[in-house]
Amino acid sequence: AQTVTQSQPEMSVQEAETVTLSCTYDTSESDYYLFWYKQPPSRQMILVIRQEAYKQQNATENRFSVNFQKAAKSFSLKISDSQLGDAAMYFCAYRRADNSGGGADGLTFGKGTHLIIQP
Amino acid sequence: GAVVSQHPSWVICKSGTSVKIECRSLDFQATTMFWYRQFPKQSLMLMATSNEGSKATYEQGVEKDKFLINHASLTLSTLTVTSAHPEDSSFYICSARALNYEQYFGPGTRLTVT
């Protein structure tokens, strides 16, 4: 079974600075997807960024980028120019690729990292 | 686009009663929906996979007779918590899988059992 580990329960960063959230995972699959979700106090899950395992290029979405190391099974999220609105819980998540057979898969989440933005 | 709603957003029920939570995909069809549970300050745990027109698939440790799932149409899945107990109090979140395989999350339902 796949597992997702986030070893940082809480991180704090000054506004406008850069912060990196760590995530490691374990799987025997060769094709899969990795995600970072943001959960603000409203508890609505918001997709931040998505990475397909077969793509070597790291995904980027504006101020958010990932460092995907497939061999090391590492998937960290870098937030540049941190803003007050970035404060939230961040969850790393895994899903098997759609062509893995056995039907659709739900997401496996890490325990989350609480990101605090210091003004 | 790709909006998922849940109803109710918050429900309080007495111990021993049943409560139904609805998950709707508003602007797309979803042959598969997922139900997650999130305890306070914890992560989301997948409870079950709901497939339109067929029986749900439950994760290990989830009681299928307690958490009844019905996916009667391509836009609606329901989760019924039967004979609720205080330990069932939690935040329940659904997601719907669109044709592009992406999963879109609902806003969640907070269940409090007294």
Q: Which residue of A has its CA nearest to B98?
A: A104
Residue A79's SS3 state is: strand
SS3 content of chain A, % helix, strand, coil (to 5): 5, 50, 45
Q: Are B27 and B1 in contact (CB under 8 A)?
A: yes
Classify burial at A9, counting beta carbons within 10 Å of its beta carbon; exposed 0-12, middle 13-18, buried 19 or more: exposed
Measured between CA atoms, how close is B84 to chain A, in angstroms? 23
User: What's the mean pLDDT in A50-58?
Assistant: 93
| pLDDT per position as a tens digit, B12-42 | 999 999 999 999 999 999 989 999 999 988 9
What pLDDT band is residue B101 in, cutting at 50, 70 and 90? Answer: confident
**In this structure, what token pair is assigned to residue B84?**
């609720």
Model pLDDT, residue A102 = 55
Beta strands in chain B (DSSP E): 4-7, 10-13, 19-25, 32-38, 44-51, 57-58, 67-73, 76-81, 90-97, 103-105, 109-113
Q: How far apart are CA A30 and CA A65, in angstroms?
A: 22
| pLDDT per position as a tens digit, A89-103 | 999 999 988 765 555
Q: Which residue of B has its CA nearest to A99?
A: B101
Residues from chain B that touch A111, judged by Cβ atoms under 8 A, are: 42-43
**Nearest beta carbon to residue A45 from set B45, B97, B105:** B105
User: Is A43 a residue whose pLDDT tops 80?
Assistant: yes
**Taking Cα atoms as reference points, which of A14, A32, A22 lies closest to residue A86?**
A14
Average pLDDT, chain A: 94
Q: How many CA atoms lie within 13 A of B25 on its CB side?
A: 26
